[in-house]
Chain A
Amino acid sequence: MEDQPGFPEFIQQQAGKLLEQTLQHIGLTFISLLIAVLIGVPLGILITRRKKLAGFVLGVAGILQTIPSIALLGFMIPLLGIGAKPAIVALFLYALLPIIRNTYTGILQVDPTVIDAATGMGMNQQQLLFKVQLPLAMPVLLAGIRTATVINVGVATLAAYIAAGGLGEFIFGGIALNNTNMILAGAIPAALLAIIFDAAVARLQKLRIRSVKKTLYILPFLLIILSAFYLLPTAYGSSLVAGFTPEFMGRKDGNLGLKQVYGLNIRTVVISDMIMYKAAYEKNLDVISGSSTDGRVKAFDLLVLEDDKHIFPPYYAAPIVRQATLDKYPELGPALNKLSGIINDSIMTELNYRVDHLKQDPAVVASEFLKAKGLLHTAKQGTKGKVVIGAKIFGDGYILANMYKLLVNGYTELEAVTKTGLGGTKICFDALTNGQIDLYPEYTGTGLLVILQTDKSVVDTIIADKQKVYDYVSTQFMQRYQIRWLPPIGFNNTYALMMRRKQAADLHIKSISDLKEYLQHQ
Chain B
Amino acid sequence: MIKLEHVNKSFHNGKPAVSDISLDVNTGETLVLLGTSGSGKTTTLRMINRLIAPDSGQIYVNGMNVNTHEITSLRRTIGYVLQDNGLFPHYTVAENIGIVPALLKWDKKRIDDRIRTLMQKLHLPPGEYYNAYPQQLSGGQQQRVGLARALAADPPVLLMDEPFGALDPVTRASVRKEFRSLDEINNKTVIMVTHDVQEAFELGDRICLMDNGMVQQTGTPAALLFSPANDFVRAFFDDQRLLLELKAVRLADVRPWLDTNTPPSTADTAVLQEETSCWQAMEQLTMLSSLNYTNRGNLISIDTSGLMHAFTQYKQTISSNGRSTGLS
Which residues 197-253 of A have a CB within 8 angstroms of B?
209-210
The yes or no answer to A507 lying at the interface (CB within 8 A) is: no
A135–B78 Cα distance when bound, in Å, is 25
Q: Which residues of A contact B74 (CB under 8 A)?
A: 122
CB within 8 Å of B: which of A111-135? 111, 113-114, 116-124, 127, 131-132, 135
- Is B191 interfacial (CB 8 A cutoff)? no
Given contacts A121-B75, A122-B73, A136-B89, contact A113 B80 (CB under 8 A): no
Given contacts A116-B51, A117-B80, A117-B82, contact A122 B100 (CB under 8 A): yes
Q: A136-B89, A136-B90 are in contact. Are A119 and B51 (CB under 8 A)?
A: yes
Query: 18 new A-B pairs (CB below 8 Å) besides A114-B88, A122-B72?
Result: A113-B84, A114-B87, A116-B51, A116-B86, A118-B86, A120-B49, A120-B78, A120-B82, A120-B86, A121-B75, A121-B76, A121-B99, A121-B100, A121-B103, A122-B73, A127-B103, A136-B89, A209-B90
Q: What is the interface of chain A, defined by CB distance below 8 A to chain B? A: 111, 113-114, 116-124, 127, 131-132, 135-136, 209-210
The 8 lowest CB-CB distance pairs between A and B, nearest first, are A117-B86, A122-B75, A122-B76, A120-B80, A209-B90, A113-B86, A113-B84, A122-B72
Contacts of A135 in B (CB 8 A): 90
Complex CA distance for A136 and B51, rounded to whole angstroms: 21
B88-115, CB < 8 A from A: 88-90, 99-100, 103
Q: List 5 A-B contacts (CB under 8 A).
A: A118-B99, A119-B51, A120-B80, A121-B103, A122-B78
A123 to B71 CA separation, bound complex (whole angstroms): 10
- Interface, chain B (partner A; CB < 8 A): 49, 51, 72-76, 78, 80, 82, 84-90, 99-100, 103, 146, 149, 159
Most chain A CB within 10 A, of B49, B99, B149, is at: B99
Chain B residues whose CB sits within 8 angstroms of the CB of A117 once the complex forms:
80, 82, 85-88, 146
Which residues of B lie under 8 Å from residue A119 when comparing CB positions? Answer: 51, 75
Residues of A close to B99: CB separation below 8 A? 118, 121, 123
B residues near A113, Cβ cutoff 8 Å: 82, 84-86
* Cβ–Cβ < 8 Å partners of A131 in chain B: 88
> Which residue of A has the minimal Cβ distance to B86?
A117
A131 to B90, CA, bound (A): 9
> A111 contacts which chain B residues (CB < 8 A)?
86, 89
CB distance from B47 to the nearest CB of A (A): 12
Bound complex: CA A124 to CA B75 (Å)? 10
**Cα-based distance from A131 to B87 in the complex (angstroms):** 13
Query: Do A116 and B72 touch (CB < 8 A)?
Result: no
A123 and B90 in contact (CB under 8 A), knowing A116-B51, A117-B80? no
CA A121 to CA B149, docked complex, whole Å: 9
Cα distance A111–B78 in the bound complex, in angstroms: 22
List, in ascending order, chain B residues with CB within 8 A of A123's CB. Answer: 72, 99, 103
Give chain B residues whose Cβ lies under 8 Å from the Cβ of A136.
88-90
> In the assembly, what is the distance between CA of A281 and CA of B78, in Å?
71
Q: How far is the CB of A291 from chain B (nearest CB, A)?
A: 61
Residues of A within 8 A of B76 (CB): 121-122
Give the shortest distance, in Å, between B163 (CB) and chain A (any CB). 12
- Cα-based distance from A135 to B75 in the complex (angstroms): 23
Partner of A210, one of B51, B80, B90: B90
* B103:A122 contact, CB within 8 angstroms: yes
B82: chain A residues at CB < 8 Å are 113, 116-117, 120
C-alpha spacing A124/B74, complex, angstroms: 12
A214 vs chain B, min Cβ distance (A) = 13
Min CB gap A112→B, angstroms: 9
Distance in angstroms from B115 CB to nearest chain A CB is 15
**Are the CB atoms of A132 and B88 closer together than 8 Å?**
yes
**Least Cβ distance of B46 to chain A in Å?**
8
With both beta carbons as reference points, the residue of chain B lying nearest to A117 in the complex is identified as B86
Per the bound structure, the CA–CA distance linking A118 and B80 in Å amounts to 10
**Closest chain A CB from B153 CB (angstroms):** 9
Nearest B-chain residue to A119, judged by Cβ? B51
Closest Cβ–Cβ distance, residue A126 to chain B (whole Å): 10
Q: A116's closest neighbor in chain B, by CB?
A: B86
- A432–B103 alpha-carbon span in the complex (Å): 85
